[in-house]
Amino acid sequence: MVNIDNRYTKSLTTISTTVSIQVAIHRRVLGSPLFYPVIVKDGISEGIRSNRFLAHHVGFKGCFSEYLAWKGMLTYINHLGLHRNPYENPEKQVSGLLELQYIKAGFPVELGLSIGADAGNTISKNGAVQFWIAKTW
């Protein structure tokens, strides 16, 4: 019988050490941020704690004015555990992002601001702010 819980974990072991350590540090799986959290022992990934989940993702974008654009994204995830070890109480997580971008012809640079947050009982609450300046030639 095939152990379907370890199918993705086995492919992780073939990734280089550098990438495996990066995955373990951020407790995320490369390629799909919804498979998490990664089990970490001594800084090394030992697999995924939950590979069964229900998720909803929605995003919208628009313009406040001719020069100010916005984008918003929201993800809700309900982790159910592994097939061989389901959670008694599913773990829930909500993640959101709001991005503003100022672009005007003749203005020397593009300006942007992003604000993101995570909340739930799967991983710790996180928040981040990013400001950027870009120049296109």
List per-residue pLDDT tens for the chain, 137 residues long.
445 555 554 444 444 444 444 444 455 666 677 776 666 677 666 777 788 889 999 999 999 999 999 999 999 999 898 888 888 999 898 999 999 999 988 889 999 999 999 998 877 788 999 999 998 88
Query: CA–CA separation, 128 vs 42, rounded Å?
Result: 27
Whole-number pLDDT of residue 28: 61
Beta bridge partners of 74: 58, 96
User: Do 132 and 67 lie in a common domain?
Assistant: yes
| DSSP type of residue 37 | P
How many domains, in total, are found in the chain? 2
64 and 124 housed in the same domain: yes
- Residue 43 confidence (pLDDT): 66
Kindly state whether residues 7 and 66 are assigned to the same domain.
Answer: no
Report the distance separating Cα 77 and Cα 52, nearest Å: 10
Residue 40: beta bridge partners?
Answer: 45
Name 75's Cβ contacts closer than 8 Å, sequence gap at least 6: 34, 55, 56, 57, 58, 93, 94, 95, 96
- In DSSP terms, 52 is beta-bridged to 81
Specify the DSSP element, H or E, that contains 11: helix 7-12
Q: What global pTM score does this model have?
A: 0.70
Q: Are 29 and 74 found together in one domain?
A: no
Domain of residue 43, residue span: 1-49
Assess whether 33 and 72 both reside in one domain.
no
Q: Same structural domain for residues 71 and 124?
A: yes
Domain shared by 62 and 107, yes or no: yes
One domain for residues 45 and 104: no
Note the pLDDT of residue 137.
Answer: 80
Q: Of 25, 49, 73, which residue sits at a domain end?
A: 49
**Are both 17 and 43 inside the same structural domain?**
yes
CB atoms < 10 A from the CB of 77, how many? 21
In this structure, the answer to whether residues 76 and 135 fall within a common structural domain is yes
- Angle at 45 (CA atoms; ends 41, 50), nearest 5 degrees: 100
